[in-house]
Chain A
Amino acid sequence: MEPLDTNKSYQDFTNKKSPNSPILKNCFNAFLIGGLICTIGEIISQYCTYRGISLELSGTIVSISLIFLSAFLTTINIFNKIGKFAGAGSLVPITRICKLNYISCYGI
C-alpha cells in the first residue's frame, strides 16, 4: 500500500519517519530535578519546624518560598532552561502553579 492511500497508512508512514522523544533520559532528568525541588522544600520545612514554627505554617512557608523562587527564576530567564531540561520534574511540584499565575498576571 502507498503511504498516501489512506490516512492510516500515511500516519504509520510518518510515525516511522518521526523520531521519538528520549523518554528514558527525560524520566531520569524529571526524577532528578523534581526530587531536587522537593528536597529544597523539605529543607525549608525542616528549618521552620526547627525554629519552632507549626507544621501547618511551615507548609505555607514552603509553598510561598518555592513559588517566589520560580517566579524569580522566570524573570531572569532561567526557569525555562530548567523546564526544558527537567520536563515533568518542574511541572509536577508547586512551582508550576506559580507559572500559571505568572502567565495569567502578566499575559506574556
Chain B
Amino acid sequence: MKKIGKQTFKLSNPVSIKETASIVGPKESNGPLAKYFDKCIEDEFYGESSWEKAESKFIKSATEMLIAKSGISNKDIDFCFAGDLLNQCISSCFGLRETNVPFFGIFGACSTFVESLILGAMAIDGNFAKNVLCAVSSHFCSAEKQFRFPLELGNQRPPTSQWTVTGSGACILSKEGTGPYITHVTPGKIIDMGIKDVNNMGSAMAPAAIDTLITHFQDTSRDPDYYDGIFTGDLGYIGKDILLDIVKTKGYDITNNYNDCGILIFDKNKQDTHSGGSGCACCASVFSGYLYKKLKERKLNKILLIATGALTNSTTSQQGESIPGIAHAVSIEM
C-alpha cells in the first residue's frame, strides 16, 4: 500500500469485492431500486417484537445470505467489520453474535459502510486477511426513536428531513477474485461547519463530502471525468445541491456523473421522503444491490463511492451542540 498525496492510499494489490447481499424494508421495496435488492421485507418488525430486534435480524439475514451466495464459509473469513446507528452498535453485535468470525464493531454514523470497506481493504492489502466481511444496518423506526422522536408521537417532519433506510447491506472482500476491485481509498476528516439542525443532515455532512471529494481528486490527480459515476451516501436533495454548487466554485464540475444514494433509493414525489434517504443501509444497500450489479454488468466501470456520516447523538443535540460530519471515499473499478 502506498500513500499518495495528503490522505489517499493506493492499494498494492486491488482488493476484489467478491459478493454482496442487500435486504430492505417495506418503503425501499416500493422504491425505484426495488428490483435490484436481494430480498424485500414487507413487515417493518420483520416478525420480531421490537425495532431493535428487527434491525438485528436485517443484518443477520444479510450476512447469512451473503455467506451462502459467496460460497465462502465462516471459518474462511478472517475479520468482520460491522456497524450501525444504534447506541453501542447493538444491531451489529446482536445480529452477528452467532457468525463465529473475529469481529470489529465500528461507528462512522451513515459513513460506516465505506469505513468498513476501507478497513477491510487495508487488512487484506496488508496481508492480515484473505477474506473480510463488511456489514451495516439501519432501521427507520429505531433511528427515529433514538435520534428524534418516537414514531407514535405523531410528529411533523420538515422538508429538509431525510428518511432513514430500513435494511442492511453486506459484502465480502477478498484477496483474489474477478472484481470489481477497490483500488484507492481516501479516509475522510471530521468537518464541522456549525450546523445544529438534526432535521437537516444533508447540510451538516456536505462540507465533509466536499473535502474528501476534492482531496481525492488532488491526491490521485484524477479529474471528475475519470469516473463513470460519483455517488455520495446520503446527502439527499439539499446536500447534493450544496455539494454541486461548492465543488463547481472549486473548479470541479461533476454535474453529469454525480448522484446520491439517498436520492436514488426513494421516489421523492410518491413516497413522501422529503430530502431523500439516509442511514448506514442507504449507501450499503444501494451499493450492494444496485451499483454492484451495474459494475458486474460493466454498465459502470469506475465509480467513486463516498459515504457521508453525521457524527451526532441524541444527548449532544439536546445540549445544543453542532453536528460534525465525515465522509470516506473508495474508488471501485472493474
Contact = CB atoms under 8 A, between A and B. Distances in A.
B51 A108 contact: yes
Interface in B196-213: 200, 203, 206-207, 210
B73 interface: no
B159 A108 contact: no
Contact of A10 (B145, B156, B194, B241): B194
B158 interface: yes
A2 interface: yes
Interface stretch (B21-29, B132-140, B146-154, B179-187): B146-154
A26 B245 CA distance: 31
B158 A74 contact: no
Contacts of A102: 152
Interface in A15-44: 17-21, 26
A82 interface: yes
Interface of A is mostly: helix
B265 interface: no
A41 to B, nearest CB: 18
B100 to A, nearest CB: 31
Contacts of B210: 4
Contacts of A17: 203, 238, 241-242, 245
Interface residues of A, number: 30
Contacts of A26: 156
Of B193, B207, B245, B249, which is in contact with the most chain A CB atoms at under 10 Å from its CB?
B193
B195 interface: yes
Contacts of A20: 159
Contact of B246 (A3, A8, A21, A81): A3
B238 A74 contact: no
Interface stretch (A45-53, A57-65, A83-91): A83-91
Nearest to B157: A84
Given A14-B195, A14-B203, A21 B158 contact: yes
A84 B156 contact: yes
A99 B194 CA distance: 33
Contact of B152 (A14, A18, A79, A84): A79
Given A14-B203, A108-B150, A19 B159 contact: yes
Nearest to A30: B156
Given A2-B249, A7-B194, A17-B203, A80 B151 contact: yes
Given A18-B200, A18-B203, A108-B51, A7 B193 contact: yes
Contacts of A18: 159-160, 200, 203, 238
Nearest to B142: A108
Contacts of B245: 3, 17
B203 to A, nearest CB: 4
Nearest to B274: A19
A54 interface: no
B271 interface: no
B50 A108 contact: yes
Nearest to B51: A108
B242 A13 contact: yes
Contact of A83 (B154, B158, B206, B238): B154
A83 B153 contact: yes
B304 to A, nearest CB: 20
User: What 8 A-B pairs have minimum CB-CB distances, sorted nearest first?
Assistant: A83-B154, A7-B194, A14-B203, A10-B193, A87-B156, A80-B154, A19-B159, A18-B160
Interface of B: 50-51, 145, 150-160, 193-195, 200, 203, 206-207, 210, 238, 241-242, 245-246, 249
